[in-house]
Structure 1
Amino acid sequence: MSSPGVIDSTKFVSATSQGFQSYLDYMNRPEAVRTNAYDWYNVAMDDLKESNFDTYNYYMSNPEKTSALFSDAHDFLTPEQMEQMIDLFKQAQESRSLMWQHVVSFDNAWLEKHGRYDPLTHSLDEEVVMNGTRSAMKELIHNEGMEGAVWTAAIHYNTDNIHVHIAMVEPEPTRKKYYPLDKNGNRLYSKETGEVIWDYKGKLHQKNLERIKSQVASAIADQSEMLAKINDLSRQQVGNRDSLYHALRHDRQLQKAYDKIYHQLPSNRQLWKYNNNALNAIRPLMEQFIDDYIEHYRSDEFKHLNEALDHAVFFYKETYGESRYDDFKESKLNALEASLGNGLLKDMNEFYKANQTQAKLLVKYPNYPHSFHSRGRSLNHLNAAFEKSYHEQKNLRDYERMKEEMEYENNAEY
């Protein structure tokens, strides 16, 4: 299988580490020198170096050139803006903030496929990459509760893999403190100062780190049309509950299956949720009901939905190369099934309430025409029966009173 379109790596270092100071020195250097100094400041790739040197060389070899440093607000940091950013990084260092370094690396063929890179001219759509980086960092900072964090980044070019390096600090640290312990569980003390040894916790939530990669990838390969198509097919077409109800009113086989399910439901209607364990015994009947409905009324739309989901799975695997996308299609189809199942149960709940209403009014108005007492599946059906009966009655007041009672009873909880 080919290399993933996007990979990433993240690491953090303490304020007293050489890695932190190296990055400050790196920021102070001219662009050409920053390119040559790329390897020695880039601690985010240490794990790759140590665990698999060949992988490190393939993905992260020294770039042929480096873009200007950019930030959340600027595509190109002027000398004055650079000085301000350096001051913020120094403030963070003095406050003992950690430095987080992220590397997001691309397979150039993947960039080319999505129209962001020209291998002949070696030109990259830097604006899209920078904006994707901004979206990713904005979300990461918000999700981690680090609203005061600042960062700088640069795009690094090489023959095989263009990548973005990002460094982030907190001028005013917000992370919780971490106190290392000895083998007896006691806090450690500095031999030089006698003070308790501590540092800020640097681990970020894995799901937030994964979002860095997906946010950048989304900016480069717009998925909105793909996801909108899946949403429309699953919710508005195959999963349209109004269409389900319409089919139910006119299909005797579905009505028969409906009645079989209805009479096996537990008496407690609070349990009438499709994925509730209380319905495990009859869920196969509901699954068969949904399958039959789709086969007879939504087969073309369901075919298109499966094709759209297969396309999405291919895109995710090509982009991220992660097995967790294997169940993307399955989870979407399960959600569709649950939606239709809950629609079915909702209709059954209305059917139950309508029957209760009819039973009560039958006792109160035993002589009312048979068309009113006929079986209906919803308030709309009962109203239609009422309208028919109205033309057969001379007493409008009696009719209106009965209709009001019916609507009140139907909306009451049983």
Structure 2
Amino acid sequence: MAKTGGFANFTTGEKKTGAVLLPTHFTTASQANKEGKQFGNLVRTYAAKNSKVMDENNQSLMDITDAEMNLTANDSFGYSSRFSATGDEHPLFDGQTLNMTDEQMDRLEDRLNTAQKNGNVLHEMAFSMRGDWLVENGLYDPETKQLDQDKLKRAEQHIVQDLFDKGGAQPLGESPDDVIWFGAVHQDTDHLNMHIWYVKESKETRPSMLHQSGEPKGVIDFNVKKQAESKFRYELESDATKIKRADVYEAVGNYRSSIKNDTLSKLDETHRYTADLQKIFEVLPKDLRGRWKVGNTDSLVTDDASRMAPANQQMNQLIDKMLTHELKDDYQVFQATAQKMDGMMTETHGQQHQGQLKWSEK
């Protein structure tokens, strides 16, 4: 992530990357030991007052443009531990406080070093937020350079438990106090970065949480990570953003219902499609009457082994014909409204991958 040369000089006007990205790294205790580093050093860098000391363990976070990056182990340690990036005298926060005291940081340092002695894996994550998204949702004022850090910290406090409980085969902690975690807000890069570190404190002995080598697993379920990212983003969105999206969803739903109702009415009112309906009826499996399965999924439409496929194929052809004629205008309005959501999805999630269906296409 590029440095901006000052606090809260976040880049704005970007639309190609996701509003909130969540890259993830892991540092094993064995790797930290090999490099002669301690997990607790992460706390020291924030408690220190000398920026030269603070940057000793730092590696800048790479510029992430793909929210669906592979979750691979990385040998970096404390990849964004820079006191100079926060500007706060007490920049660290956890589940109990938004600004940890020196005493709390000393206790945190000791616990992190205990986790390392027990051979555990340090999870390192970064919520990377686009500047214009922060502005749109009232979290950042580019004129005054004011950032609502408290709201950001609370949002992270509210989603971390799911990462601990659902990210692996079993909850990371074996008791409520068995997971150590802390976070920090960094304001000296082109995107705002909120970092979180967490690790199990007691020695891991559960087979499902261990590799065959006996080393604890460093892994986060991809779906759990995406859900945490979504919950974090939703909590921080302004009412205006939520209402705007809800209005489009509602309009699309209304147009869809209207088209369905009009379709049935027109089938009742005209004999134009009698032949098409007759074809559908003729290919329906008579012995399955009362158990006919309709739809447009691959298994029902294109799978030759499905006995319902011929009827569903004929039905799709009839629907296409109606959308091309009687329902053409209604369908075009429906499509145009659905495509508004495509633009909103791009602003939220970034550019789509090649071959990925847009929201309107689904």
For this structure pair, what is the TM-score category when the shorter chain's length is used for normalisation?
0.5 to 0.7
Query: Which of 229, 252, 266 is the aligned partner of 2:271?
Result: 252
- Larger CA deviation: 24-33 vs 148-157: 24-33
* Map of 2:186 onto structure 1: 156
- For residues 47 and 115 of structure 1, do their structure 2 counterparts lie closer, same or farther at Cα, with a shift above 3 Å needed? closer
Matched residue pairs, number?
Answer: 306
* 2:167 maps to 1:146: no
Name the larger-Rg structure: 1
- Do the aligned partners of residues 161 and 260 (structure 1) sit closer, same or farther apart at CA in structure 2, a change above 3 Å counting? same
Structure 2 unpaired stretches of 5+: 1-13, 65-78, 174-178
Stretch deviating more after TM superposition (32-41 or 164-173): 32-41
- Tell me if structure 1 keeps the 8 A contact 2:86–2:186: yes
CA–CA distance in structure 2, aligned partners of residues 287 and 43 of structure 1: 55
Aligned to 2:24: 10
Q: Secondary structure at the match of 2:272?
A: helix
Q: Which residue of 1 aligns with 2:346?
A: 317
Task: Please name the residue that 2:280 is paired with.
Answer: 261
CA offset at residue 24 of structure 1? 1.1
Which of 151, 157, 167 does residue 128 from structure 1 map onto? 151
Amino-acid identity (%)? 19
The letter for the 2-side match of 1:139 is D
State the match for 1:178 in structure 2: 211
Q: Does 2:223 correspond to 1:207? A: yes
Larger helix proportion, structure 1 or 2? 1
Tell me how far apart the structure 2 counterparts of residues 44 and 170 of structure 1 sit (CA, whole Å): 25
1:12-411 alignment, distance < 5 Å = 12-16=26-30, 17-18=32-33, 21-28=37-44, 31=47, 33=49, 39-42=55-58, 45=61, 64-67=85-88, 68-144=91-167, 145-146=170-171, 148=173, 149-158=179-188, 160-172=190-202, 173=204, 176-180=209-213, 198-221=214-237, 224-239=242-257, 245-254=264-273, 257-267=276-286, 268-269=288-289, 270=291, 272-274=293-295, 275=297, 276=300, 277=303, 278=306, 279-291=308-320, 302-303=331-332, 305-324=334-353, 327-329=356-358, 333-334=361-362
The offset of 1:163, in angstroms, is: 0.6
Counterpart-to-counterpart distance in 2, 1:40 and 1:12: 19
Question: C-alpha displacement at 1:102, in angstroms?
Answer: 0.8
Deviation digits for residues 48-73 of structure 1 (CA, Å, limit 9, x no counterpart): 8xxxxxxxxxx979654345211234
C-alpha contact (below 8 Å) 1:13/1:20 kept by paired residues: no
Question: How far apart in 2 are the matches of 1:21 and 1:97?
Answer: 14
Change (3 A) 1:265 1:100: same
Q: Compute the displacement of 1:162 (Å).
A: 1.8
TM-score normalised by L of structure 1: 0.60
The question of whether the paired residues in 2 share the 8 Å contact of 1:11 and 1:43 is answered with: no
- 2:54 & 2:276 partners in 1: Cα distance? 68
Aligned in 2, Cα 1:105/1:22: closer, same or farther, shift over 3 Å? Answer: farther
Evaluate the alpha carbon distance shift between residue 301 and residue 21 of structure 1 in structure 2; reply closer, same or farther with a 3 A threshold.
farther
Instruction: Supply the RMSD in Å over aligned alpha carbons.
Output: 3.9
The 3 A distance-change label for structure 1 pair 79 and 262 is: farther
